[in-house]
Amino acid sequence: QTVVTQEPSFSVSPGGTVTLTCGLTSGSVSTSNYPNWYQQTPGQPPRTLIYSTNTRSSGVPDRFSGSILGNKAALTITGAQADDESDYYCVLFMGSGIWVFGGGTKLTVL
């Protein structure tokens, strides 16, 4: 069974740039997987950042961007701010109507 992989944790300095990735244990991620990215803080529902690989959701600042890097989907945060400290999840379309979330990345800004 294919699993969606994310870095368990990542750290970035304020003002810095960080790229989080979303991969597959078997195969490559492509635009056909329609990667979506979500941000979640404790006790809150997820907030949509990026959908269909690189489309920014309404109201999301342009320092968040999505792409395909190599064989993975990627979320890049440019100019990290303190309130970017959150959990970040990707979800991929696996075909046959099935979606699978990655395990999430806990981002620390310090």
Partner 1 sequence: EVQLVESGGGLVQPGGSLRLSCAASGFTFSSYWMHWVRQAPGKGLVWVSCINSDTRSINYADSVKGRFTISRDNAKNTLYLQMNSLRVEDTAVYYCVREFNKGAYWGQGTLVTVSS
The residue ranges that bind partner 1 (CB under 8 A) are 34, 36, 38, 40, 45-48, 51-52, 55, 57-58, 87, 89, 91, 93, 96-104
Closer residue to partner 1, CB minimum distance, 42 or 82: 42
Minimum CB separation from partner 1 for residue 77, in Å?
Answer: 18
Angle at 39 between CA 52 and CA 85, to 5 degrees: 140
Closer residue to partner 1, CB minimum distance, 47 or 63: 47
Minimum CB separation from partner 1 for residue 38, in Å?
Answer: 7
Closer residue to partner 1, CB minimum distance, 48 or 67: 48
Closer residue to partner 1, CB minimum distance, 51 or 76: 51
CA-wise closest residue to 61 among 90, 87, 81? 81
- For residues 11 and 50, give the distance between their C-alpha atoms in angstroms, rounded to a whole number: 21
Give the pairing of strands 9-12 and 105-109.
parallel
Minimum CB separation from partner 1 for residue 13, in Å?
Answer: 26
